[in-house]
């Protein structure tokens, strides 16, 4: 997505037949399934290590907490079966309903730009598959995440619950409006905000809900290519810094794009 990125390499995550697999055909069905499950896990583990070394560290992702989180989280759990073998491919993947799971590098880059610590309360706009949410959940004290599509929110909630995350709160609605005022955290604002869909301009409700001194990362632009921007709020105003060109799906809503 960034115009300066090196070309992505294809990951060999396809689970091709092997002599070991063929030899198992005479065993019970349960044994075959268990063996294949172990084989797949091993291949996913290898692909995850490849991602960490070549797609993250080699491109300047050096935050150890982020690297540890992405080494721990099984990305394949958030990808539809039709694309599961491509889970660690260096690119976005479709998750249905016109939405995508962002490529690993973008997930890491946006997270690194937020400088999240263990005491941060964070708002995520666009739950999507839940993978980015999981990364944030590993780093922040509490994550509040909004998804417009109920089916995606339910799916992400199920996966994150199965993986044991208990510091994430979900809401289905218009993310451009921010978190519902009556449900805001006790302090009434968020230390960090991450927006995972493109907006024409930065929504005013998100600016209002960002703490003074807080950081927001957000893709902004009208065309197929947007600017990924990091904003720091100082005395009620945003200080913006462009990171790179990106391509995100649009955020639809009152302060987003019209449907």
CA–CA dist 88, 108 (Å, integer):
13
Residue of 61, 119, 89, 31 lying closest to 243 (CA atoms): 61
Q: 238 has which bridge partners?
A: 233
Smallest Cα–Cα separation from 153: which of 122, 137, 175?
175
Question: Annotated catalytic, 18?
Answer: no
> Of 245, 221, 247, whose CA–CA distance to 100 is shortest?
247
For the chain, count helices (H), then strands (E). Answer: 7, 9
CA proximity to 251, closest of 194, 211, 168: 194
**Distance separating alpha carbons of residues 119 and 141, to the nearest angstrom:** 5
For tokens 């807080």, the residue is 214
3-state secondary structure of 15: coil
Determine contact, residues 200/221, Cβ cutoff 8 Å: yes
Q: Euclidean distance between the first and final Cα of the chain, in Å?
A: 25
Catalytic residue among 7, 17, 87, 102: 102
Active site (catalytic) residues:
102
């Amino acid at each position: 997505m960034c115009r300066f990125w090196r070309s992505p390499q294809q990951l060999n995550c396809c689970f091709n037949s092997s002599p070991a697999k063929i030899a198992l055909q005479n065993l019970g069905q349960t044994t075959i399934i268990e063996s294949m499950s172990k084989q797949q896990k091993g291949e996913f583990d290898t692909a995850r290590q490849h991602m960490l070394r070549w797609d993250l560290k080699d491109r300047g992702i050096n935050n150890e907490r982020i690297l540890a989180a992405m080494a721990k989280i099984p990305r394949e759990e958030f990808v539809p079966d039709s694309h599961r073998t491509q889970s660690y491919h260096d690119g976005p993947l479709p998750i249905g309903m016109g939405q995508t799971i962002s490529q690993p590098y973008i997930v890491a880059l946006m997270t690194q730009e937020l400088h999240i610590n263990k005491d941060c309360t964070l708002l995520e706009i666009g739950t999507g598959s839940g993978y980015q949410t999981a990364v944030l959940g590993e780093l922040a004290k509490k994550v509040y995440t909004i998804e417009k599509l109920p089916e995606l929110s339910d799916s992400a909630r199920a996966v994150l619950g199965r993986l044991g995350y208990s510091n994430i709160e979900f809401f289905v609605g218009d993310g451009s409006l921010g978190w519902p005022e009556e449900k805001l955290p006790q302090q009434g604002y968020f230390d960090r905000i991450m927006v995972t869909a493109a907006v024409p301009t930065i929504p005013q409700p998100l600016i209002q809900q960002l703490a003074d001194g807080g950081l927001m990362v957000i893709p902004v632009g009208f065309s197929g290519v947007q600017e990924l921007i990091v904003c720091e709020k100082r005395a009620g105003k945003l200080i913006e810094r462009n990171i790179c060109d990106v391509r995100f799906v649009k955020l639809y809503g009152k302060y987003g794009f019209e449907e």
